[in-house]
Amino acid sequence: MILKAKERGAAGQLARYLLTLRDNDHVELHEVRGFVSDDLIDAFSEADAIAAGTRCKNHLFSASLNPPSGASPSIENFQDAADAVGRKLGLEGQPRAIVFHEKDGRRHAHVVWSRIDAERMRAINRSHYKMRLREVSRELFRVHGWEMPKGLQDWRDRDPLNFTREEWQQAQRAKIDAKQLKALFKRCWDRSDSREAFARALEEKGFVLARGDRRGFVAVDYRGEVFSVARLAGVRTKEVSARLGDAAGLPMIEAAQAKIAGRMTDRIKNFIRQTELEAERGRKALEFRRTEMAGRHREQRNVQKQAQERRWTAETNARAARLKHGFSGVWTCRALVPPQMLV
């Protein structure tokens, strides 16, 4: 599943958002656990009141669980995913709520934990939680046998021109360090036995092999940065020349930078065209899947409702069986009534 999360406050606002039908076809409050109240708004008010005794402002941890397109995980699958996130982030056993949203036939879940440890009156810290969520997400894709999205693969070893917008921003923030860069060039060098093979290996990672002014063979990345092949591959200049031959046939640095810029422009145009075509082709198929999935979800809700009703009936009968019957039962019931109500 794709997991997105953030820390936040404003519990009342969040509760109202989770329960609104404005942007959803169906909303279901599935679980409220660890709170005194089983009403979501009242439960989140409890969280606000407890957090007021601390200095923590963003006392809630709110996560969304989105299955991949075409997948139909069960309610138990969502619960297992929520449990996995709780364990990974140290929130296991904390008060939490689970709300299901359905829109266009697709179901996703929102899980909200209280970060406040009520016994110690301190907020639970989850450092690097985005990285840990990625680990949980990758494991969920493996467990369910879903195709791993490119965003969850090791983006440092991929062509940045194939990044999504979010991955691009992440790469820009991360700034691949020297060790990673050298390891990447070393792998490209080791798997290549000619200039053509080395150029293809570099291009798969977002680099263009070019001819430098003084450094012989260089590689240009998507930002226009220039790197020495010999230095990053960890080989001598003579070895580079022996394997790659004469650099005269390669583009100069400026031409390589222009080539990458052109690829970026073409990539964006192709993406727009592809998106428009896919939207047109998938409209009817999406409507059919939406109707089918909505019916399946409706049936699951009915089954769950019937199970809850059976459990409620059984518990009511069990409580009734513990009461005495006849004249002694009257006195038992009278003893349970507060004295002020007997006046």
| String of DSSP letters for 14-77 | HHHHHH--TT-SEEEEEEEESSS-SSHHHHHHHHHHHHTTSS-S--EEEEEEEPPTT----HHH
**Which residues, in sequence order, are CB contacts of 164 under 8 Å at separation 6+?**
150, 151
Q: What is the mean pLDDT of residues 97-115?
A: 90
Beta bridge partners, 99, equal: 29, 110
Among 134, 130, 172, CA closest to 150: 134
94 touches 31 (CB < 8 A): no
Per-domain residue ranges of the chain: 2-152, 154-320
296 three-class SS: helix
CATH 3.30.750.24 for domain 2-152: no
Per-residue pLDDT tens for 230-255? 888 888 888 998 999 888 888 898 88
CB burial of residue 266 (10 Å; 0-12, 13-18, 19+) = exposed
Residue 24 CA to residue 18 CA, distance in Å, equals: 10
pLDDT of residue 155: 47
Q: At what angle do helices 40-51 and 11-19 cross, to 10 degrees?
A: 160
Mean per-residue pLDDT over the chain, rounded: 79
> How confident is the model over 249-276, as pLDDT tens digits?
888 988 888 887 777 666 555 655 665 6
What are 176-220's pLDDT values in tens digits? Answer: 556 677 888 888 999 888 889 999 888 888 788 998 876 589 998
Q: Which H or E run includes 211?
A: strand 208-211
Higher pLDDT pick, 25 / 279: 25
Secondary structure class of 107 (helix, strand, coil): strand
Q: Whole-prediction pTM value?
A: 0.48
- CA 100 to CA 13: how far, in whole Å? 17
Residue 37 has pLDDT above 70, yes or no: yes
pLDDT given at position 233: 87
- Residue 155 is given by DSSP the state G
Residue 171 in contact with residue 181, Cβ under 8 Å? no
